[in-house]
Amino acid sequence: MESVLTENYALYNGDCCELLPTIPADSIHLSVYSPPFGGLYNYSSSERDMSNCRNRDEFFEHYGFLVREIERVTMPGRLTAVHCMDIPTGGGKLFDLPGEIVRLHEAAGMNYIARHSIWKEPLGVRLRTMAKGLAHMQIVEDSSLCDVAGADYLLLFRKKGDNLIPIAHPNGLMSYAGERQMPADIRHLKGYDGKQTENRFSHWIWRQYASAFWDDIRISRVLPFRESRESEDEKHVHPLQLDVIERIITLRSNPGETVLTPFMGVGSEVYGAVREGRKGIGVELKPSYYRQAVKNVRQAVQEREKEQAPLFA
Give the strand pairing for 152-159 and 110-118: antiparallel
Tell me the per-residue pLDDT of 23-78, one tens digit each, with 9 for 90 and over.
Answer: 999 999 999 999 987 655 667 778 888 888 888 999 999 999 999 999 999 999 99
**Distances from the Cα of 73 to the Cα of 9, 20, 96, 271, angstroms:** 17, 8, 27, 21
Measured between alpha carbons, how far is 304 from 283 in angstroms, rounded to an integer?
Answer: 22
Distances (CA, A) of 135 to 45, 87, 258: 34, 19, 44
Going by C-alpha positions, the residue among 223, 236, 201 that lies closest to residue 274 is: 223
Residue 265, Ramachandran bin (φ over 0: left; ψ between -120 and 50: alpha; else beta): left
> Each residue of 219-269: pLDDT tens digit?
989 998 655 455 555 455 568 999 999 999 999 999 999 999 999 999 999
Give the model confidence (pLDDT) of 137-169 as tens digits.
Answer: 998 999 998 889 889 999 999 999 999 999 999
Phi, psi at 283, each rounded to 5°: -125, 130
Q: Where are the beta strands (DSSP E) in the chain?
A: 2-5, 9-13, 28-33, 74-85, 87-90, 93-95, 110-118, 152-159, 213-214, 258-261, 279-284
Report the C-alpha gap between 29 and 254 in whole angstroms.
9
Q: Which CATH architecture has domain 2-306?
A: 3-Layer(aba) Sandwich (3.40)
Q: What does each C-alpha distance from 96 to 47, 88, 154, 237 come to in angstroms?
A: 25, 9, 14, 19
* 312 has a pLDDT exceeding 70: no
